[in-house]
Amino acid sequence: MSELKVKTMAECLAAGEIPEVLFWVGCAGSFDDRAKKITKAIARILTHCEVSFAILGQEESCTGDPAKRAGNEFLFQMMAMQNIQVLNGYEVKKIVTGCPHCFNTLKNEYPALGGTYEVLHHTQLIQQLIEEGRIRLEGGGSYKGKKITFHDPCYLGRGNNEYEAPRELIRKLDAELVEMKRSRANGLCCGAGGAQMFKEAEPGNKEVNIERTEDALETQATIIAAGCPFCNTMMTDGVKHFEQENNIIVKDVAELIAEAADL
């Protein structure tokens, strides 16, 4: 993200600066080529809104979510304690994440190990910035009037009861929000949660992401909006399975907002 001139917490400390927000990039947002675009969209939004933020850079490690979901509590606690030591060393108070898995783990599971922070999912923070008038969307931009359906990430929706922030952002695009038959509290997992992203599928008659993509296709939306890099991958693969990649695009809500605001 060198072109965005994003500072690390170490650089801020050396310059005597205290950022308002730590942007927790996450493994996918750091290493996955597709998810890097989401990371850049979030960083562009924060920069445009003049939010004082920094990243950990090389000091950021995995939150331990996949280890915990796969049943290795010992490894999770080792990883979490290491991260908490770094976060507390920088006296971090507020964190924004680009991933619901990081969001849930930092918000709900780190306090028991000594890491208590105000943690926001990126859609929540972007909604706040729009309400404060720090981002202006001129009539929704290129998404005005488009049919968009939103896939609820498990750890944002059912895990933390946040259904409205991403939907409010889609409405700000002057787009038509169409709901899948299974949405909000009745939403269906994309198939990647619970560390399933990193293992082969078990025997069955259909992949979970194919089932979920069918729900999205039924809405006849031309855009599937996601709020999680894992969901983004699974839904993209589902669209490719049905050979609909020329008709339907999968984008994170942050990307939609950044493009509509021409950032």
pLDDT in tens, 118-135: 999 999 999 999 999 998
The Cβ-side half-sphere exposure at 228, using a 13 Å CA radius, reads 23
In this prediction, residue 124 carries a pLDDT of 97
CA distance 161 to 51: 26
In order of 73, 152, 205, 249, the CA distances from 119 in angstroms are: 22, 19, 39, 29
pLDDT bracket for residue 156 (50, 70, 90): very high
Check whether 199 has a pLDDT greater than 90: no
Q: SS3 for 195?
A: coil
C-alpha angle 68-82-65 in degrees, rounded to nearest 5: 20
Average pLDDT over residues 222-239: 97
pLDDT of 97 reads 98
pTM over 0.85: yes
Q: What is the pLDDT of residue 143?
A: 87
pLDDT of residue 208: 93
Residue 141 or 116, more confident: 116
Task: Report d(CA 61, CA 246) in Å as an integer.
Answer: 36
Percentage of the chain beyond pLDDT 90 is: 87
Which residues, 6+ apart, have CB-to-CB distance to 31 below 8 Å? none
Could you read off the pLDDT of 22-73 as tens digits, one per residue? 999 999 999 999 999 999 999 999 999 999 999 999 999 999 999 999 999 9
